[in-house]
Amino acid sequence: MGVDCFKTDFGERIPTDVAYYDGSDPIKMHNYYTFLYNQAVYEVLHEKRGNGEVALFARSATAGCQQFPVHWGGDCTATFESMAESLRGGLSLCLSGFGFWSHDIGGFEQTAPADVYKRWCAFGLLSSHSRLHGSSSYRVPWLFDEEAVDVLRRFTKLKCSLMPYLFDAACQAHEQGIPVMRAMLLEYPDDPASDYLDRQYMLGDSLLVAPIMRADGEVDYYLPSGRWTNWFTGQVIEGGRWVREQHGYLSLPLMARPSSVIAVGADEQRPDYDYAKGVIFHAFEIADGATISTCVRSLTGDKVMTVTLTRDGQQIGVRTQGDAENWRVLFRGIHGIHGVDGGAVADDPLGVIVTPATGSKELTIHL
C-alpha cells in the first residue's frame, strides 16, 4: 500500500487480571508487553522495507524499545504547565537510553490559546522530530491567528536549513546512543548548575534551546561558561550565569555553543535533500588553540564531508575531507579580516563568509 512507517499508539494499557498463553506472570508482562507490541510491528516493516529503512512512531515503551526507535510523549494538555511537564519527561526519557523524542505541538487534550500554540510551535520544531496533533480541534496554524502561520513557517524553515546538523545528531544517536535532545548535564557534567535544569536542553552538541513557557514572553535560562552566540541576532553573551530575556513569538533563546561549527543546508523548503550541496559551515567564537570539526552526511547516514577548523593566534585553518559542492564557511561575529589563503572573503550581516577557490580543500584565515 506504500506505507513506510506506522504510528503505534497505545500498547501500555495492558490489564494484569489476564492469562497469557505461555503462563507468563501478568505483572511482569505489563511493561514487557510494550516491547513485544512494537517489536511485532517493527519486524513486519523490516521484512517489507529492509535494513536501515524501518522506523516506528511509538507511544508506549520499556527498556529496549529505543531500537525501534522514535517515540513521543502521549496525551499532553494544551497549557504552558503541560508544555513544561512534557519537556521534563522527554529529557528523562532521553537520559534513559532513548535517542528520539517529541510531543504533540500545541498539546493534545483541549485546544490551546494562540499564545500557547505559537510558543509550542517554536519548541516543537526544535525537537528531534515534529508533529502538529490534537484531539479536539484541527491544529493548522491559520485557525489560531495569522501570526501563528508566520511562526510555524519561520521555525519550519529553520529546521529544514538545520537538517545537515540535525541529521548528523540523529546518526550519533544511532551509532553512539547519545540522544538528539540532551539534558544539560550530558554536555556539561562538571558544571553543578546543569544537574537540575529541566526547562532547557541541548539540541545536538552545539545548540542550546530554552522554550518560552510564559504568557509575558519572559524566559530564564542558564548558560555554561564561555561566549555564547544568539542564533538569530548574533549577540554574544558571556556564560557561567543565568540570563533573563523577553521574546516575541518569532524568537526564543537559541544559543550556539562557544568553539562550535554547525552545518547549515541550502534548502529550507523540505527536510530531505542533498545536505552537502551548497552547505555553509557557521563557526562560532573559536578559542585560541581550539580544534573543532563536524561532518555532513548523505541521506543514508554515510559521511560525505568533514570540516575541521583550528585556531592558532590570529590564524584559523580550515581543512576538509570528502566532496561537497559550493561549500562555504561563515565566521559569525567577525567583521573584517586581514586576508584569506585559498579562497575569497565577503561581508555578511552576521559576520564574514569565506568561499574556497575551485577544488580547494584548505583555507587559512588571517584575523
**What mean pLDDT is predicted for residues 175-179?**
96
| Same domain, yes or no: 171 and 106 | yes
User: Where is the domain boundary, 238, 256, 274?
Assistant: 256
pLDDT of residue 336: 85
Residue 230 domain-assigned?
yes
Residue 83 and residue 213 in contact, taking contact as beta carbons nearer than 8 Å: yes
Most confident of 50-59, 264-273, 354-363: 264-273
| Same domain, yes or no: 14 and 162 | yes
DSSP 357: P
pLDDT of residue 359: 85
pLDDT of residue 108: 96
| pLDDT higher than 90, residue 2 | no
Beta bridge partners of 72: 102
298-327 pLDDT, tens digit per residue, is 999 999 999 999 999 999 999 999 987 799
| Same domain, yes or no: 315 and 357 | yes
Residue 132 domain-assigned?
yes
**What mean pLDDT is predicted for residues 351-358?**
95
pLDDT of residue 136: 85
Can you give the CATH number for the domain in which 134 is found? Answer: 3.20.20.80
| Same domain, yes or no: 213 and 226 | yes
Percentage of residues in the chain with pLDDT exceeding 70?
100
Mean pLDDT, the chain, whole residue set: 96
User: Where is the domain boundary, 176, 203, 235?
Assistant: 176
| Same domain, yes or no: 251 and 283 | no
User: Where is the domain boundary, 256, 280, 296?
Assistant: 256
| Same domain, yes or no: 20 and 134 | yes
Can you give the CATH number for the domain in which 296 is found? Answer: 2.60.40.1180
How many Å apart are CA 315 and CA 295, to the nearest integer?
Answer: 22
Residue 317 domain-assigned?
yes
**What mean pLDDT is predicted for residues 88-99?**
96
> Grid coordinates in use for 154?
519561520
How many Å apart are CA 282 and CA 250, to the nearest integer?
Answer: 21
CA atoms within 13 A on the CB side of 327: 29
Residue 332 domain-assigned?
yes
pTM: 0.96
Residue 1 domain-assigned?
no
Residues recognised as catalytic: 9, 12, 75
Element (H, E) at 134: none
pLDDT of residue 324: 76
Residue 341 domain-assigned?
yes
How many Å apart are CA 63 and CA 72, to the nearest integer?
Answer: 15
Instruction: Provide the number of structural domains found in the chain.
Output: 3
pLDDT of residue 1: 83
- Give the residue from 121, 124, 4, 126 showing the smallest Cα distance to 57: 4
| pLDDT higher than 90, residue 33 | yes
Helix axis angle, 114-125 to 146-161, nearest 10°:
10
| Same domain, yes or no: 157 and 71 | yes
CA dihedral 244, 249, 250, 253 (to 10 degrees): 20
179-204 pLDDT, tens digit per residue, is 999 999 999 999 999 999 999 999 99
pLDDT of residue 230: 98
pLDDT of residue 125: 98
| Same domain, yes or no: 145 and 227 | no
pLDDT band at 174 (very low <50, low <70, confident <90, very high): very high
| Same domain, yes or no: 298 and 225 | no
Strands 69-72 and 100-102: parallel
Task: Report DSSP letters for 100-120, one per residue.
Answer: EEE-EET-SBS---HHHHHHH
pLDDT of residue 323: 83
Between 157 and 360, name the one with better pLDDT: 157
Question: Which residue range forms the structural domain that includes residue 243?
Answer: 183-256
| pLDDT higher than 80, residue 141 | yes
Residue 202 domain-assigned?
yes
| Same domain, yes or no: 96 and 142 | yes
Residue 234 and residue 333 in contact, taking contact as beta carbons nearer than 8 Å: yes
- What are the percentages of helix, strand and coil residues in the chain, rounded to 5? 25, 30, 45
Beta bridge partners of 319: 308, 362
How many Å apart are CA 237 and CA 199, to the nearest integer?
Answer: 19
| Same domain, yes or no: 250 and 264 | no
| Same domain, yes or no: 86 and 229 | no
